[in-house]
Structure 1
């Protein structure tokens, strides 16, 4: 009997020690989870390319507000109608609460004696995912205006790039699988195009994809050609190739008419990088030779090194008397989702 009691006691002690030995590990894991756990942030509020400006009303309606509108909401230079590069929306400091605190792009003006000099601060993911908040601090209004003048291009560029990335990520989540798979199979390229578009033309090295919104058209043109050297990627070479491709593949309604680049306005040229990919971008106006249609376009070109070819995605909008900015920038973001299989 004593033997069984001792054996039972020994087994209980071993099990107890085993359980106790696991407790510190469990507590450490639990503590680690709590340390690494971050509160779940809601999605950003507001419309794309909107900026919420937090400042007193008298500043918004005065010289500071006028300066802000001229530097951050200037007209897009290549649009046929006047549209701002960004849309500024005002709220007073005591109203900056609730859903306003989750706004996608926020610009806060802070002026007071507590600041010894002007400073520009940038914060991300404060109250919402992908949110950016700029704060301009300064001892007086003149110092803040100087700060704004010096940094306006940086502010606009950061907001535009952030909006583009937001749309790129959204397109990658919610894309038309049918179009995506056809482009991958027939052209060895991946492009995340939202639902609502349809392939109109596919002739091997040229694809025409389109979405109709009433009488308005959102178009995507894709073409490829052999890559020889970097001289093919300078502005003038890209323009010549664009006009050559459009003349051959995009006819107008009238006999002998075709899409081309508007010569009155010189297209803008920029070079951007997203990840390891370099993009060469033209922005301007398209028109119809011997016709009457026109609108803005964005032309994005990159190199598929594995296949030694140049690939261009050209987005254009036809929307008479309609706001075109967000539609065109949506097409731009689609172009930046391009990638190539190994």
Structure 2
């Protein structure tokens, strides 16, 4: 009987400890359009030099678009309004005067997923300096979250196309609205219709040693794109002329070191044009160093949408391309 009594007491203590232990906080689903940032700050700060600095960093024009479009759409909210469901915004930048100067990023503070960046300073000049110091990191975290949110939304309706898997041993998280439009020996073209044009993804592979020198990298990338375009991406029929998608000659593409799902890559942003025809638009290319198959795997997204903002189209394409998985990768 004594053993039973002791056992009962132990169980009671265990259950009590479980009930009194820390409970997982429930956060509601965050809200807001992709690439929208709620800026919480007083009207006086927003309308002055601090607000100008916020716009300078967070509404800066993106590289590689046909005209200036902001990195983020900024929605100003005075602190008195930032309550209730307005606190559920996915990306929040909170800027305020305080005796302490600094910046931090809080994750899932009021909702999930959510990033709340808090910037404080004891004067306007301190706030401006803190924004200059920390804006790049904050923007990087906002972009990372927005890419993940976009990729999560793709799961609502995924494409069953497996041509990339069969031809190249790679997989992309493609929404079902994308359809395979063209296949060749070393070329796949997938696209979707949009209101005023199309969003496109092309894929092909190149030898591992195709790019020999950093000093000629940009020129070699342009040569590669133009040769693929001439072979596989024809333009409209024009009597007496050959038309195809090439690289805009007036603007050299911007090239960055990058990484795609664990693989080293080169990221290229620029403007495509149709040679001998007045058509153009933005493109984003990832040249992935595929160490599994000893090749360069090239994935490109480009948009054709005349007289239309293209930032969000290109962002969706980037989110898709960054889901790349290669068969056999660890």
Q: Is the 8 A contact 2:234 2:243 kept in 1?
A: yes
**Superposed CA offset, 1:111-160 (max 9, x none):** 03x32xx2011111212223111111111111101211233333323322
| 2:282 equivalent to 1:296 | yes
Q: Pick from 18, 31, 44: which aligns with 2:30?
A: 44
What is the TM-score with the length of structure 1 in the denominator? 0.86
Q: Is the 8 A contact 2:261 2:324 kept in 1?
A: no
Deviates more, 1:254-263 or 1:232-241: 232-241
Look up the match of 2:168: 187
- For the pair shown, which has the larger CA radius of gyration, 1 or 2? 1
Give ranges in structure 1 of 5+ residues lacking alignment: 1-12
Give, in whole Å, the separation in 2 of the partners of 1:218 and 1:90: 31
- Measured after TM superposition, the shift of residue 176 of structure 1 is 2.8
Look up the match of 2:122: 139
Give, in whole Å, the separation in 1 of the partners of 2:54 and 2:143: 16
Look up the match of 2:66: 80
Instruction: Within 5 Å, give how 1:271-290 maps onto structure 2.
Output: 271-290=257-276
**Cα distance, 1:43–1:274 mapped onto 2, change above 3 Å:** farther
Q: Pick from 119, 122, 128: which aligns with 2:111?
A: 128
Give, in whole Å, the separation in 2 of the partners of 1:339 and 1:33: 42
- For the residue of structure 2 that corresponds to 1:321, the secondary structure is coil
- Measured after TM superposition, the shift of residue 91 of structure 1 is 0.3
- Measured after TM superposition, the shift of residue 189 of structure 1 is 0.7
Give, in whole Å, the separation in 2 of the partners of 1:143 and 1:219: 45
Give ranges in structure 2 of 5+ residues lacking alignment: none
Give, in whole Å, the separation in 1 of the partners of 2:218 and 2:136: 22
Hey, which of these two has a bigger chunk of helix by percent? 1
What is the TM-score with the length of structure 2 in the denominator? 0.89
Look up the match of 1:158: 141
| 2:28 equivalent to 1:28 | no
**Superposed CA offset, 1:227-284 (max 9, x none):** 1376378444333212211121100012410001112122111122355222311011
- For the residue of structure 1 that corresponds to 2:71, the secondary structure is coil
Residues paired across the two proteins, number: 323
- For the residue of structure 1 that corresponds to 2:278, the secondary structure is coil
Give, in whole Å, the separation in 2 of the partners of 1:330 and 1:204: 27
- Measured after TM superposition, the shift of residue 29 of structure 1 is 6.3
Look up the match of 2:310: 324
- For the residue of structure 1 that corresponds to 2:166, the secondary structure is helix
- For the residue of structure 2 that corresponds to 1:38, the secondary structure is coil
